[in-house]
Amino acid sequence: MKFLKRNYGWMIVALLAALPMLVLAKMIQIDWQNGLTISLVENAVGEDRTTLEMLYHVSGEFAIRWITAVLTCTPFFILFGITNLFVRQAMGIATAVWSLVHFVLFIWAEGFAETFTQVNYIAGFIAVLILIPLLLTSNRKSMKLLKATWKKLQSYSYVAIILSLLHVALLEKTWLVYAVVVGLGFVIRIPVVKEKIIANRLKLSKA
């Protein structure tokens, strides 16, 4: 019970991040009979897209959603005074995992060399490279080992979100929604704005 009470937020995030993976896994067929072979289940989706295109699209959408969610944690704390560092870590892990899945599917569909043919692809690739060390250090042991350096390392998530927004903006997708959410989050972080919000929140809590 103590473990559940301490980690329930982390577990909820992990569940939310994993459930779509289970749906996507049904579109992939793994055969162990003649060695390991991985293939896609064609006509697995009822849209005008191939299975690979659907996997690629969905993984990218979840990656940008999770990284946006990570960057709204601090504004959420400023607005409501509720924070959970390990929930944010879980969100960061979900971001990195979905981003890596998205990149692997891109290589599967287009080949690694295609990564360097367009600015939006390069931006996405750099974002993935940034997220890898963040993923590997998103645990309590790394926090204790790296101490202040851990926070500096995690701050590179801001660079990753900017590159991710550039990636989707150049693809002419629904980047504006994410940009607005992240932009509002940065406005709330401005010291003057932050202090006023916290002061008003404390005043209301004492009323």
Express as a percent the part of the chain with pLDDT over 70. Answer: 88
Query: pLDDT per residue over 45-92, tens digit each?
Result: 656 667 777 888 888 888 888 888 888 888 888 888 776 667 888 888
Query: pLDDT per residue over 140-190, tens digit each?
Result: 788 888 888 888 888 888 888 888 888 888 776 667 788 888 888 889 988
Q: Select the more confidently predicted residue: 114 or 31.
A: 114
Q: Is the pTM of this model over 0.85?
A: no
Domain count, the chain: 1
Which domain range does residue 166 map to?
A: 2-206
What sign does the CA torsion over 37, 42, 45, 50 have?
positive
In this prediction, residue 123 carries a pLDDT of 92
Express as a percent the part of the chain with pLDDT over 90. Answer: 10
| pLDDT(40) > 90 | no
